[in-house]
Structure 1
Amino acid sequence: MSVGSNAPVIIKGKKVIAGEGHHGGAWKVAYADFVTAMMAFFMLMWLLNATTEKQRKGIADYFSPTIPLNRISGGGDGTLGGDSVFTEETLAQNGIGATNRHAAPGKPGSPGIPVTAGADKDKGLEGIEEMLLGSGGESMSMQNAFRHVVTRISDEGLVIELFAPEGEPLFAAGGATPAPLLEDLVSVIGRVFSLTTNDIAVKGFSRSHAIVLAENPVWDHSLSRAEAVRLMLGDAVGEDRIERVAGYADRHPAVPNPMSMRNDRLEIVLLRVEPEY
């Protein structure tokens, strides 16, 4: 090629990339969440292994929304500020209790005040019902025990029905000796009822038995079992608060099958108190 040739000059350029592009950091967030979850899991395993049953119960109560952390106000204001249903201001306004420091008029030796009927006649009973059902969340054993409990509010008052499903009797077979399960339930009920001064009624019901029996035990069972519960409640709230004890035999079955174990039941009634005018 001669020097004076008009051939084009081709210049080849090379693009140099200084480094890799940014791929995003989502994987870092996911990895951090995984590490945090694993740390929480191992901390939980360590706590379960290093704490006693009583300490574990305290930890569970702390995270339970149905159990107040403090029986007095937490120092704040409003629902999330620390107010507790057990404070004197709340209980006294709802008409369901008071403390020994400012005990309201009632029967001698009783720290509570009566739940009266009135414009908001069910408000106080509903408060007692909530406290009772909230007590059932204290431990796994009490949660299982409260499967035997049904509550309702009637014209008579707050009715707490204790029943015996198949295979889980409340009394020793054929007798009136309370099972440990029933003792635990009555203990919780007595503790909640001690916040009031209302009288209490105890009713016993029995399932039907085969007509071939020489002596039908339904009357004896219903009355003797109600009497056993009366004695247990009397220890918790005082004998003077038990207004009546009754046995209804098999006259009011809870389910259509009269011989079902579900008909072996008790009703503990927190009776209404009519307001004084």
Structure 2
Amino acid sequence: EDSLLKHVNTRITDEGLIIEIFDLPDTPLFAQGSDAPTEVARQLLMMIANVTGMVRNDIAVGGHLGREPESDDGFALSAARAQKGRILLAEYGIAPARFVRVTGQSNRALALETGPDYRNRRLEITLLRSPPG
């Protein structure tokens, strides 16, 4: 499990709690140029589903690619990966009604402008803040 946690970063924004899962140099989340998840991605999403199952917040899923997209249509690939993440989270127990947004960002919202590009290839699962009241 410790090796899985190396793929995870969390941060709080105005929108909510963002759980990022990202590639490591020798351990991608998806097959190159594909939306086929690796075993590591499946294990991470199962872990996230177990934890997020304890709360009721709505969820947004965003797919992101590296600075150099792996396909001619980076938006389609990043959206397909986000959709695959949503499907797996639902298979692992998250109620489908909790998903309010699934987006593909291609390489438009990098985690790192410089430095290791693997860190940009990621899914962001956001537990959205509940509206006041």
Could you tell me how far apart the structure 1 residues matched to 2:115 and 2:99 are?
29
Counterpart selection for 2:101 from 235, 244, 255: 244
The alpha carbon displacement at 1:257 in A equals: 3.7
CA distance in 2 between partners of 1:171 and 1:186 (Å): 12
Note the C-alpha offset of 1:143: 0.7
- Compute the displacement of 1:275 (Å): 2.9
The verdict on how the C-alpha distance between 1:203 and 1:183 changes in structure 2, with shifts beyond 3 A counting, is same
Determine if the alignment matches structure 1 residue 263 to structure 2 residue 131. Answer: no
CA distance in 1 between partners of 2:96 and 2:38 (Å): 22
Paired position in structure 2 for 1:188: 47
Match of 1:253 in 2: 110
Q: 2:107 is matched by which residue type in structure 1?
A: D
Q: Give the helix-richer structure, 1 or 2.
A: 1
How much is the aligned-residue C-alpha RMSD, in angstroms? 1.9
> Which of 32, 37, 48 is residue 178 of structure 1 equivalent to?
37
- What is the distance in 2 between the residues matched to 1:260 and 1:273? 33
The one-letter code sitting in structure 2 at the alignment partner of 1:179 is T
AA partner of residue 50 (structure 2)? R
Match of 2:86 in 1: 230
C-alpha deviations, 1:45-79, integer Å up to 9, x for none?
xxxxxxxxxxxxxxxxxxxxxxxxxxxxxxxxxxx
Distance 2:50 2:103 in 1: 22
Q: d(CA) in 2 for partners of 1:259 and 1:193?
A: 29
For residues 115 and 75 of structure 2, what CA distance do their matches in structure 1 show?
14
Q: Give how far 1:197 is off.
A: 1.3
1:274 alignment partner AA = P
With normalisation by structure 1, the TM-score equals: 0.45
Q: Distance in 2 between matches of 1:174 and 1:257?
A: 22
Larger Rg: 1
Contact 1:207 1:264 in 2 (8 A): yes
**Following TM superposition, where does structure 1 have runs of at least 4 consecutive aligned residues deviating by more than 4 angstroms?**
none
User: CA separation in 2, counterparts of 1:255 and 1:191?
Assistant: 28
SS of the residue aligned with 2:62? strand
TM-score w.r.t. structure 2 length?
A: 0.91
CA distance in 2, matches of 1:162, 1:168: 12
Larger % of strand: which? 2
Q: Which residue of 2 aligns with 1:144?
A: 3
Query: Please, which runs of 5 or more residues in structure 2 have no aligned partner?
Result: none
Of residues 63, 75, 79, the one that matches 1:219 is: 75
Query: Which one-letter code corresponds to 2:112 in the other structure?
Result: V
Cα distance in 2 for partners of 1:249, 1:258 equals 18
Q: Provide, for residues 80-134 of structure 1, a one-character-per-residue CA deviation record: whole Å limited to 9, x for no partner.
A: xxxxxxxxxxxxxxxxxxxxxxxxxxxxxxxxxxxxxxxxxxxxxxxxxxxxxxx
Runs of at least 5 residues in structure 1 that lack an aligned partner in the other structure: 1-141
Give, in whole Å, the separation in 1 of the partners of 2:115 and 2:109.
Answer: 9
Q: Cα distance, 1:269 vs. partner?
A: 0.4
Paired-residue identity, %: 36
